[in-house]
Each structure stands twice: as C-alpha cells, then as structure tokens.
Amino acid sequence: MAKTTAMSNAIRALAMDAVQQAKSGHPGAPMGMAEMAVALWAHHLRHNPADPHWPDRDRFILSNGHASMLLYALLHLSGYDLPIEELKNFRQLHSRTAGHPEVDVTPGVETTTGPLGQGITNAVGFALAEKLLAAEFNRDGHTIVDHHTYVFLGDGCLMEGISHEAAALAGAWKLGKLIALYDDNGISIDGKVTPWFVDDTAARFRAYQWNVIGPVDGHDVQALDAAIAEAKKSTDKPTLIICKTHIGKGSPNRQDTSKAHGEPLGAEEIALTRQQLGWKHEPFKIPKSVYADWDARAAGKKAQSAWQKRFKAYAKAYPQLAAEFTRRMAGALPEDFGAVAAQIASQAHDSAATVASRKASQLALEGLTAALPELLGGSADLTGSNLTKTAATADFRVDAQGRVVTTEDGRIGRHINYGVREFGMAAIMNGIALHGGFIPYGGTFLTFSDYSRNAIRMAALMKRRVIHVFTHDSIGLGEDGPTHQSIEHAASLRLIPNLDVWRPADTTETAIAWTVALSQQHRPSALLLSRQNLAYAPKTEAALDEIANGAYVLAEPQAVGLQQPAQAVLIATGSEVQLALAAQQLLAERKIAVRVVSMPSTTVFDRQDAAYKTQVLPPQLPRIAVEMGVSDFWWKYGCAAVVGIDRYGESAPAGALFELFGFTAENVADTVELALQKASS
C-alpha cells in the first residue's frame, strides 16, 4: 500500500508542479487518475521505454488529452526519453510536453489527443488493426500480433457524439482487446455534470455489446488491478471499467470542484496538498525509491526480447510473411509500387473511358487493392455510391466468437461497413494509420466531409496517410438539392495544412491522384469525385508526366487550330475541365487563343518550385478559373475572373443547374473575352 501510494502521489506532485510552473494546464484529472495509472502501467501495460515503437507493444491512449501531465509523468517515471527538464518546460515553446499529447513529439505518445471523443475513437482503430493483423499474420504455434489497446477517457469524451459512433462499432466488431477506463469524477469545466449529463453510461455500453465492470473505487489500486485482469479475459467484447474518482484528489480546497479542472492550484493550495498527501519533497523532486518502483525498462526489455525470439522463429517458418509484416509495419510500399502505379495510369490513359470520376476511382482501386494488401477500405453506408469496394476487398466480418471471418482462400475482409458514421469512420481510420500495418481509406459524399472535418484535420496534424474518398462533389449531383450539393467544401478542405486535395478530371488524373496519395507517407489526402460522367481529356506525353505536379498544361491554342500564342489561361478542375476545353474551342472561333490548365490538386501544385509554376501559369497572361464552388478561393492565383458559385444550389437535373448557374461553354468564353477587354482597356 505504501508503495502504490508513493507511486500515485509522485504523479500528483508532478502534475501540480508542472501546471503551476507553466501557469496553465489541467492538474485535477491527473491527480484523480493517479491510481488508475498505477494499476495499469505498473501491473498490466506491456511496453518498452527503450523502444516506443516495437510492433507488439500494448497501446495506451489518453483520450481526455487535457490530462496530459498524467501521461508525461508516466513516461518520465517509467523510463522513456523524457527527462525532468521537459516536465519543467510543460506547455513551453519547443518543449516535448505540449498542452495536449502529440504523437511524434513525445516518445511513448501513440496519438495526438485533445478534441474529446477522438482518442477513444482512435483506440477503436488501433484495436481493429490489431485484430485484422493477427488474423492475417498469426499462424498455429506462431503468434506475433497479440496486444491490447487501453484507453483512459472522461465525461467529456462520452458526451461527444463521436464516442457513440466508435463504441457502437467496437461492439459490433467484438474488439475484445480494447479496454477503456472511464474516469467518472462527475466534474467538467462548468461544474458538476449532473444537470446536463444524465446518461446511464453502464446501460449505454451494455447496449453497444460491451462488457461493463464497476463502478469500482478509482483510488483502490487492488480493485482496479482486479478489474483490468478481468477485462483481459474477454475475447468477444470490448470492456468499459467505470472508475469512481475524485478530481484533484488530495487537494483540501479544490478536490471535487471545477476549479481543479483547468487552472493551477496555486502555491498555497499546493503546499496544503503536499501536507495532506504526506509528500515532503521539493517541486520536481522524486525519491530514487519511487523511480525504482516505476522503472519499466527491465520488464519492457524482457517482454520485447521474448517477442523478438518469437518473431525470429516465425521468420524462419514463414519468411515471406515475416518480410511482409516488417514492410507494412514500417509503412513502406512494395518495391514494385512504381511499376504498379505506372501500369494503372497507363491503363486509365489507354481506355480513354467516359465515366464518372468515382467510377474511375474504383477502376484504379481494382488494381491497387490487388497489389497492396495493406489497403483497408470502407464507406459510411454509401458503398454503392462511393464505389470503394473492389474484387480484392471482401467485406470485413466477425463470427459469434469475435473471430475474423476469412474468405475461402484465407484472405481477411478489407472493406468495412462503417454505417452512417462519417466522423467515427474518419477518426477510426486515423487510429488504423497510427497503429501501422494498413493504409486506410473510406468514402462518403463530399458535403458530409463537414461531419468528418475535425478528424481530417487531426490526420493532417499528425502527418498520417489516410485517404478520404469524397464523391458527389458539386451541383452536378443534381436532384438531391442544396443539402447534398457541395459549394464551399473543396475550398474549405484546401485550407487544412498538410492535407492534399485532389479533384481529378478523368480516368488518368484519378489514377494518378490515387498513386500520389499512396506515396505520401506523411500526409492525408482527399479525393473529390464526380457522380456524373466525365469525358476523357486527351493528353500529350509531357502532360501525362506532369499530372503528379498538381497542375499541368492540358491544351494549347494549337489544339483547336490556332497557330498563335495564348492570350489567356483557363484554369479548371474536375468536371469543369471539359467545360474549359469547350470554351477554348468557342474562343478559337472568335480568334481568341487560350491555354487550358487542368489543376487537379491546388495543394500539390502550390508545393512546386517557382519555375514550374511560371511555366504552367505565365505571369503575363490573364487567368480565369472555372470551378463549381465558391469563387473566393481562386483569387489567390491572381485571376482576372472566376466562374464559380457563391450561393447554395437548387434541386433539379444537373444540366438545368449548369445552365442556371452559368457553367456553360458560352458563359466561360464570354467571361474570358470580357476579362481580356478589361485587361487591354
């Protein structure tokens, strides 16, 4: 008891001291969850501080990321490369102890958390990846994938609707190795939660087909230890352990109050708390005996060594599988990916098919999913519209015992029915990407990217390869009307740093968008695809090589019979490229020469060097952009005019809408001519 008390109080002291020194932060939750941390980290969590990335470690996710000092204290105490100076630098510029945990910044942090509800949802992705990899790679007598995903979460995570989406899927998928510990302290920023949070959480999770343990005393390490041990016995259900705790545990005047949540305790209260806890040490001073009790390096080394021994035997018995597992966990594409990508692009070019870009996406995916077993697809209840399923990707299913169902030839299902859960899908895909072993992609309508947006932003912030397939990309979807017609969405997604946004015009651009997205190991991508058919745009060999640059010269005036230099540049994306080509022909009849530039990805084009940008968009030529979306975005390219739409659409057939909103070759040609007249006046 004395040992666990000292270990718990070390967490409390570090949390108090770091928040006080930073003059900001959240001390209450770390103080309240200290015994939960002791029970899990000292008795159950299998990890190695010397190697935070070994593949079969248990994953720990702090979903209530405002309690970051709990995680930083644990990482420091257990032996990770996080010295006490970093804790003293909590929340300071360039420290490795940011206000909320950030993956790839702090060793041992598995995912960036802060937006509540997304951590538990990431955890579902982690647990799903573990389950699928185990089914794919483990063999009788050779188990190389066998770890748990543990999550701490609080009231805020449960209030966010995304937790419903995630928990329901975790139950449906029977993720028995997912164990969540709920810090049930009844306090949030606004005070006691009872006036606005009256859910029967236990009944809610039982309805999701979870095991529910508790409530247990969240300050009784022995009871918590037993609860975790019980949870680990589950094979067909995830487990929620309800831990009744006191926020700010040990603080005489702040315990069980909202003041303990998000502000320093203050020097006087910290002194009183130290006295109440019997903690007589100076700020940031931890006794050697406590460090020794927390030190996980020897146990971690032993656990990893045992796994490495198993993996060595596995590699001897199944050398190809071992090499494939190693490649995929490293996030590397197969050595022949370049050849595969070239073949898929060539097939798209040679077919010259007139199809919707959503269908062009499926055609590219047929080849990609056959060549890349790590591609893990899905859709938010729109599979027949998003066209994310291929011949190589059977549906993911589990049997009554929670085992992954495989095909007759032993393959796992690689297409996930997420149901109508766009936000949950996006954040689960983040968890899958963070875990490693798979490259996730998922589909929905572009207008519903609003539901997914914060998870898309988190993927970009975390630099993870997640691919979003967004179909029905404009007013071109027609009769469904303005609720489904995307107007501002392309521009809005382009504003997210580190997110590549593609709006391809035909089969070849779509295929290349896919291969470029897959080659980007450290950024997510969004593919914006049409419902309506798009004619193939003929390309020169030079143009084919330049599509991957995000923009390229598609057609010079000579393509329509004018032997004179271009007087203007028409820039278009997606379905509007055909409109620009038709306008180019009309302008040629008026003896006006224009260049047509297809710009499938503004974000990729913006990363090109100045020489290439000037080559594609000569500065001396007026530029006119054409896109069925808000016009504001396009002025950044110095456009003289924009043919766009700055209001919501209407419910009508696509052709009628194009006429109504001026997306006709005649209007584009007139706009170019008027811009030239203004430029010369």
CA 32 – CA 11 distance, rounded (Å): 10
**Residue 578 domain boundaries:** 547-680
Q: How far is the CA of 360 from the CAs of 309, 442, 512, in angstroms?
A: 46, 16, 11
DSSP lists the bridge partners of residue 212 as 240
Domain with 596 in it: what CATH number? 3.40.50.920
Residues 608-618 have a mean pLDDT of 98
CA 554 – CA 291 distance, rounded (Å): 65
pLDDT bin (cut points 50, 70, 90) of residue 551 is very high
Last residue of a domain, one of 275, 301, 327: 301
CA 415 – CA 178 distance, rounded (Å): 21
CA-based nearest residue to 672, from 565, 602, 583: 583
Instruction: Evaluate if residue 99 carries a pLDDT over 80.
Output: yes
Q: Say how many C-beta atoms besides its own lie within 10 A of residue 621's C-beta.
A: 17
Residues 235 and 284 both lie in one domain: yes
Residues 402 and 288 both lie in one domain: no
CA 101 – CA 251 distance, rounded (Å): 25
Residues 282 and 253 both lie in one domain: yes
Q: What is the largest CA-CA distance in the chain?
A: 90
With respect to residue 470, please indicate whether it lies within any of the assigned structural domains. yes
Binding residues for Mg(2+): 155, 185, 187
Residues 63-70 have a mean pLDDT of 98
CA 486 – CA 475 distance, rounded (Å): 7
Kindly provide the b/e burial profile for residues 601-613, where b requires at least 16 CB atoms within 10 angstroms of the residue's own CB. bbbbbeebeeebb
Residues 112 and 196 both lie in one domain: yes
- In tens, the pLDDT along 265-286 reads 999 999 999 999 999 999 999 9
Residues 589-601 have a mean pLDDT of 98
Across the chain, what does the average pLDDT equal? 97
Phi, then psi, of 240 in degrees rounded to 5? -110, 125
Contact 183, 29 (CB under 8 A): yes
Establish whether 366 is a catalytic residue: no
CA-based nearest residue to 219, from 27, 31, 28: 31
DSSP structural state of residue 174: T
Residues 384 and 511 both lie in one domain: yes
Residues 374-383 have a mean pLDDT of 98
Last residue of a domain, one of 529, 557, 590: 529
With respect to residue 318, please indicate whether it lies within any of the assigned structural domains. no
With respect to residue 142, please indicate whether it lies within any of the assigned structural domains. yes
Residues 16-24 have a mean pLDDT of 98
Binding residues: 26, 66, 114-116, 155-156, 185, 187, 261, 358, 385, 448, 472, 480, 484, 531
- Identity of the residue numbered 344: I
Binding residues for thiamine diphosphate: 66, 114-116, 156, 185, 261, 448
Q: What percent of the chain has pLDDT over 70?
A: 100
DSSP structural state of residue 487: S
With respect to residue 327, please indicate whether it lies within any of the assigned structural domains. no
Instruction: Evaluate if residue 1 carries a pLDDT over 80.
Output: no
Find how far residue 664's CA is from the centre of its chain. 38
pLDDT bin (cut points 50, 70, 90) of residue 680 is confident
Last residue of a domain, one of 301, 319, 348: 301
- Tell me the Ramachandran region of residue 426: left when phi exceeds 0, alpha when psi lies from -120 to 50, beta otherwise: alpha
Residues 15 and 50 both lie in one domain: yes
CA-based nearest residue to 9, from 293, 300, 299: 293
CA 293 – CA 42 distance, rounded (Å): 8
Give the tokens for residue 486: 């995307």
Residues 157-170 have a mean pLDDT of 98
CA 6 – CA 290 distance, rounded (Å): 7
Q: Decide which of 408 and 167 is more confident.
A: 167
522: buried, middle or exposed (CB in 10 Å: 19+, 13-18, 0-12)? exposed
Residues 147 and 292 both lie in one domain: yes
Report yes or no on whether pTM surpasses 0.85.
yes
CA 580 – CA 571 distance, rounded (Å): 8
Which one is catalytic: 422, 576, 627, 673? 422
CA-based nearest residue to 513, from 367, 364, 393: 364
With respect to residue 644, please indicate whether it lies within any of the assigned structural domains. yes
CA-based nearest residue to 633, from 486, 516, 529: 486
pLDDT bin (cut points 50, 70, 90) of residue 342 is very high
- In tens, the pLDDT along 651-677 reads 999 999 999 999 999 999 999 999 999
With respect to residue 328, please indicate whether it lies within any of the assigned structural domains. no
Number of domains the chain is built from: 3
pLDDT at 681: 79
With respect to residue 131, please indicate whether it lies within any of the assigned structural domains. yes
With respect to residue 537, please indicate whether it lies within any of the assigned structural domains. no
Residues 581 and 670 both lie in one domain: yes
Residues 109 and 207 both lie in one domain: yes
DSSP structural state of residue 440: E
- Which residues, 6 or more positions from 544, have their beta carbon under 8 angstroms from its beta carbon? 345, 349, 508
Residues 519 and 560 both lie in one domain: no
Binding residues for substrate: 26, 261, 358, 385, 472, 480, 484, 531
Contact 189, 217 (CB under 8 A): no
Domain with 388 in it: what CATH number? 3.40.50.970
Residues 506 and 623 both lie in one domain: no
Residues 361 and 508 both lie in one domain: yes
